[in-house]
Structure 1
Amino acid sequence: MKQTHGFRSRVAGLLGLLFLSGGCSLMPDDSEAASGGEARRTVKSIEDARVETREISSRVLDIVAVRGDVSEPGPGVDVCGDDPDSDVLYKMYHSWSVSGVARDVLEEGMGRARRDLPEEGWNIVEDGEKNNANRSPRILFEHDEVQYAINMTLFGSADDPLLSVSLVSGCFRTPEGETVKGQF
């Protein structure tokens, strides 16, 4: 199994779950460092993050290029594990799946993602199989610049396969005056 380390290598292990349960990407910030050494997050409005998450997810679907049944849920907002009671820290997630086509078609879609996503700045953090009875193929990607990670896993048998994709961001901070309350 190939493994490399990126900006959030700790995210890779957590992405085995449906989406991150904790870790946020942290970088020092002059103003916050002076006030006790807290870390800075990218400032982004929740609506901008929703649009960005939807666009990234759509691009991944375009690259996978499988014409099957795609699940409908859109991007969601979640708390950051570093400070789950914060009114200004949040992360985005978007989980979807493709089904209704043969397993080999879904495997080809994973192959396209493996080949094409790195050309768009995504690093392959892990490429192998899950430790489950079916040895489900899984690829974990992360993108340092946009601060997102992807868990792509092929589940099921030849009779009922499903390609699951979970896109998760690092922690973002809302602009001043915007709150996360009511956004979940």
Structure 2
Amino acid sequence: MKIKQGAAVLVVSLALTALALTALGGCGLTGSGDADPGSDGIPLAGTSTSRDAAAAVEKVSAELRGLTGVEGKPSEGLAGVTECPGRDPARYFQVFHPWSFHPASDDRLDEAMERLKAALPAHGWKVARYGPDTSQNKNLSLTADNGEKKYGVSVVQMKKNDPPKLSLTVVSGCYEVPEGKEVERF
């Protein structure tokens, strides 16, 4: 029974990650003007190996964690690699980092979300959306992108979870793998 339950959680997690990647791909992660029509408007983030890009997206997540200004515990989710829509999958990729943040005190969840919303613009992020989502719980959600760094973030405040948390997914623009290297998928 545990294996089936674990598999179901993995499927739901992957579905939510795919949904967040789809949402972020169109949320304005295109402000730099260096995307081409074949890339679904997703900007180029530069040249990198998959491992280095994964480390960079995890660093962005850590910076976002700091912007909450609230004590708590982040999950230990690792970054992943996915195809870059409209580009050659042997040469181009995106990285994403799904993770969550549990404030030390449940009553600080609102504060963490408000601080994040207020701090993002001062750190190069443009908030594209802030308000209740379309779920049954009407979770407060925030979508923002950083045109300079070529990252987007989706944050969902999940007050009705046990324990309550912020669920975050950070996604990059399209990277091109260096000449002579291959895209690693993980």
Moved more, 124-133 or 155-164: 155-164
Cα distance, 1:15 vs. partner? 8.4
The residue that corresponds to 1:18 in the other structure is 20
The one-letter code of the counterpart of 2:116 is A
* Contact persistence 1:149–1:167 (CA under 8 A): yes
- 2:34 is aligned with 1:27: yes
* Contact persistence 1:15–1:151 (CA under 8 A): no
* Contact persistence 2:103–2:109 (CA under 8 A): no
TM-score (norm 2): 0.74
The total of aligned residue pairs comes to 162
* Contact persistence 1:74–1:94 (CA under 8 A): yes
- 2:111 is aligned with 1:104: no
* Contact persistence 1:101–1:161 (CA under 8 A): no
Cα distance, 1:94 vs. partner? 0.5
Higher helix share: 2
Q: Secondary structure at the match of 2:118?
A: helix
TM-score (norm 1): 0.75
- 2:57 is aligned with 1:60: no
The residue that corresponds to 2:143 in the other structure is 140
* Contact persistence 1:89–1:171 (CA under 8 A): yes
Distance 1:173 1:155, change over 3 A: same
Q: Secondary structure at the match of 1:87?
A: coil
Residue identity over aligned pairs, in percent, reads 28
For structure 2, the 5+ residue unaligned runs are 1-15
* Contact persistence 2:157–2:165 (CA under 8 A): yes
Q: Secondary structure at the match of 1:86?
A: coil
The one-letter code of the counterpart of 2:34 is M
Distance 1:152 1:42, change over 3 A: closer
Distance 1:42 1:18, change over 3 A: closer
* Contact persistence 2:20–2:169 (CA under 8 A): yes
Cα distance, 1:43 vs. partner? 2.9
* Contact persistence 1:66–1:98 (CA under 8 A): no
Give me the whole-angstrom Cα distance separating, in 2, the residues matched to 1:177 and 1:20.
30
Q: Deviations 1:81-119 (Å, cap 9, x if unpaired)?
A: 223x62111001001102364443111111111111110
